[in-house]
Amino acid sequence: MSPFLTRRRAAAALVTAALLVPLAACSGGSGGSDGAKKKDDGASAGSANLTVLAAASLTDVFKKAGALYEKEHPGTKVTFSFAGSQELAAQVKQGAPADALVTADTKTMDGLKADTGTPTVIAKNRLVIATGKGNPKHIGALKDLTDSKLKVVLAAPEVPVGRYSKKVLDAQQLTVKPVSQEPNVRAVLSKVELGEADAGLVYKTDAATAPTKVDAIDIPDAQNAVASYPAATLKSSQHSAAATAFVKWLSTPEAQKLLQEAGFQKP
């Protein structure tokens, strides 16, 4: 082979190699971008396994809401963790893996500003006096709870419903000595349902979940407290787009219909 042909083939090989290098880089970059894009597209479409920390008083309605959301958003699964709002806040601060948070008061949510997105109030609630079915102790008003012969149970003061209870009792200058202070509103309701307490202060919506076991005595609006339920995404979420979509959905007509059917008030 002549030196000339050898030089030509060597030059051609160098040119080919120079062209292939950027093509390979572009191909690799494109593949990475497509992969990231697919992941983002999936998140924006709501496809994800979401974990939502929610106040105990939302237990029944959120189970229905989660089922409806999954039906409307194929590929998305929503798992709820229900507890008192103060317990949920502790979980968030400890770094528990979750995507969104819904509390039973704005105070708890405000204390987590560094960990959440901007909250949106999705519902409101009010207190009632829960008594045994048939109201055997003939309780008719807040002042009746001061009777030392009654076994009254309240939520602990660090729990939202406990703070609301204290607020309404203090406003009426009433002193109630509870036989126990519970970690969440469902625990208060359970004590009354089981007959371990004659009465307790719970949310209207919680009393409505046990119509065959408890009676709900209304508290006049002028003596009552309004509980607000804010919802927010968590900054630590691995599915931020899907979490945002779920939180926004809670304000849609479909979600609001479920909440109001459960006895919650409009936000």
Q: What residues does each domain of the chain span?
A: 49-124+228-261, 125-226
Whether the pLDDT of residue 7 is over 80: the answer is: no
- Report the number of secondary-structure helices (H) and strands (E) in the chain: 9, 9
The more confident residue out of 159 and 30 is: 159
* Residue owning tokens 């003939």: 138
Predicted confidence (pLDDT) per residue in 50-70, tens digit: 999 999 999 999 999 999 999
Q: If you average pLDDT over every residue of the chain, what do you get?
A: 87
> Superfamily assignment of 49-124+228-261 in CATH?
Periplasmic binding protein-like II (3.40.190.10)
* pLDDT, position 239: 96
Each residue's pLDDT tens digit, 126-179: 999 999 999 999 999 999 999 999 999 999 999 999 999 999 999 999 999 999
For residues 203-223, give the mean pLDDT. Answer: 97
| pTM to 2 decimal places | 0.81
Identify the CA nearest to 185 among candidates 145, 137, 126.
126
**How would residue 204 be classed by pLDDT, with cut points 50, 70 and 90?**
very high
Inform me whether the pLDDT recorded for 11 exceeds 60: no
The CATH homologous superfamily for domain 125-226 is: Periplasmic binding protein-like II (3.40.190.10)
Give the pLDDT score at 34. Answer: 38
Instruction: Determine the Cα angle at 59 with ends 55 and 63, to 5°.
Output: 125
**Same topology for domains 49-124+228-261 and 125-226, yes or no?**
yes
Which tokens belong to 266? 């409009």
Which of 102, 53, 108, 113 shows the shortest CA–CA distance to 86?
108
pLDDT tens figures, 227-263: 999 999 999 999 999 999 999 999 999 999 999 999 9
Distance CA 146, CA 125 (A): 24
**CA 253, CA 238: separation in Å to the nearest integer?**
27
Task: Identify the pLDDT of residue 47.
Answer: 74
